[in-house]
Amino acid sequence: MTDPVTDPVTDPVTNAVTNAVTQPLTRPAIRPAVNTVICTALGIEARAVRDGIPDSARGVEVIRIGMGPDSAGQAENRLARAGALAVTGFGGALDESLRPGDVVVASEIRFGGRTLPCPSAPLLAGELARAGLPVRTGPLVTSDHIVTGAERRRLADEGALAVDMESGPVAVVAAGRPFAAVRVIVDTPAVPLLRPATIRGGVLASRTLRQVGPALARWAAACGPRRVLLAAPRSFCAGVERAIEIVERALDRYGPPVYVRKQIVHNLHVVRELEGRGAVFVDELDEVPEGVVTVFSAHGVSPGVRDEAARRGLRVIDATCPLVTKVHAEARRFAARGDLVALIGHAGHEEVEGILGEIPDSVVLVQNVDDVAALPEGRRVSYLTQTTLAVDEAADIAAAIRRRFADAEGPQKDDICYATTNRQHAVHTVAEDSDLVLVVGSANSSNSRRLTEVASRASPAHLIDDPGDIALDWLVGARTVGLTAGASAPPALVDAVVAALRGLGRVSVEERRVAEETVQFTLPKEVRSR
């Protein structure tokens, strides 16, 4: 192999922080915190990577280290000065579902009896996916020979996605420095190397490798030490924990399938995990077979839904959060005395739909201060609040109602959930000292969106489902990152974000707690321990 490539390569550092939920912020150009060396085995690979990296980049060098683990291991002296290391180039698929041109981002490297983790893999995989590339994340094996036949099947059975011949030694040399490995598939179990059909795979892989270069450069720009400020409380609240436990216990007691009307809580990961255990999520009860176990979600339902369930003989288990149940009871109390109830909330949210259905002839939805002016005169007015609103937003609307209707009565106790209030206070506290705030939660989670809005008043803030949603550009120059999670987001996702950031450099973690939460709710009788 000839044609070494050792010229410095530059990196496309995108300076605009994009996709902030409420307030995009443009950062000044920032030189990467560490210099990065991207290693390839072949000259053709190095040229493809270099072709994909704009000349305006800084701090990245692409070098050819030769083919095989011995050559890669001999490059240690050339790699010693790098602050971060990456390996890329062609690879062979072990998993039969992979095709030529697919991209594998290593979650770990298996080499010489060792398993070397690649913690930033979700960040890099997300970046490549947003660029439109077909990406998989999983174990990568480094071998000292071309893997074929039975050995290929054995490695696939052990869970590895792909094989290469250089990543392992470079990962060993990295020794705690940021490290990434990205392979573009050339050959597959169905079309191994040394067959004519692999020529087409090589062409596809070369084109894809040009697109890998910019993502690796952005990864390089994001590398460096940082501080993470954890907001506390964060993640699951008592009502969410109760709702999830209800579905889990129903599956254990009655066996799958257990039907759930709507998402049990608004989080994609929670729903997927429960689906894997046998829960079936439906939008409406007409999708549920008659007589089967059916769970109502934490957001509550209207009397009409309960009536339909009774008519169809469904075995209902109610997972409505007790704090939402309290709002339903207040709505009935106000309506019973003849009040017009102003419900402060957001149209289309399942909690709001349930409350509107509770007293349909006595309620008006109020979404903002302007809506207060449209409330009719000549009737006593009371008001209630969706439990997951931003505290100050709801307070402004309630104040407008009281200004217009001097005798307006609100709930006996604040409707906004204690967990919502605590999490908003906590994220505000960390946002003031952060360059960037990440809020873990799904896009349909009202409380998670409100957290993002609250944080964005002090710092750029982004709502993410998991580490794969973090754009590397957001992290450039962000040395202090605030981190929280909505009340419906699993705590493990917060841990996953911290782990991914550690893959970019040393991370110190500081928790800022504003409240202790000791609330617990009892389970419905249908799933209590016998």
| pLDDT tens string 21-37 | 333 333 334 445 669 99
Domains assigned to the chain? 8-223 (3.40.50.1580), 227-234+419-513 (3.40.1010.20), 238-321 (3.40.50.11270), 323-404 (3.40.1010.20)
Catalytic hit among 45, 351, 353, 453: 351
Question: Known catalytic residue: 351?
Answer: yes
Going from the C-alpha of 91 to that of each of 94, 145, 162, 267, 489, the distances in angstroms are: 10, 12, 7, 35, 36
Looking at residue 19, what is its pLDDT? 33
Three-state secondary structure call for residue 345 = coil
The three-state (H, E, C) secondary structure of 432-501, written as one string: CCCCEEEEECCCCCHHHHHHHHHHHCCCCEEEECCHHHCCHHHHCCCCEEEEEECCCCCHHHHHHHHHHH
pLDDT in tens, 106-136: 999 999 999 999 999 999 999 999 999 999 9
122 neighbors 492 (Cβ within 8 angstroms): no
Strands (E), 125-252: 135-142, 162-164, 179-187, 226-232
Is the torsion defined by CA of 410, 416, 418, 423 positive or negative? negative
Which of 442, 375, 453 is closest to 408 using CA atoms?
375
> What does the pLDDT average to over 278-285?
97
Three-state secondary structure call for residue 274 = helix
Looking at residue 143, what is its pLDDT? 96
Using pLDDT thresholds of 50, 70 and 90, give the confidence band for residue 4: very low
The Cα–Cα gap between 429 and 509 comes to 15
The Cα–Cα gap between 336 and 339 comes to 7
Q: Among the listed ranges 54-68, 150-164, 432-446, which one has the minimum average pLDDT value?
A: 54-68
Name the amino acid, one letter, at 239: G
Strands 135-142 and 114-117: unpaired
Tokens of 362: 């006595």
pTM as predicted: 0.88
pLDDT in tens, 169-179: 999 999 989 99
The Cα–Cα gap between 188 and 209 comes to 17
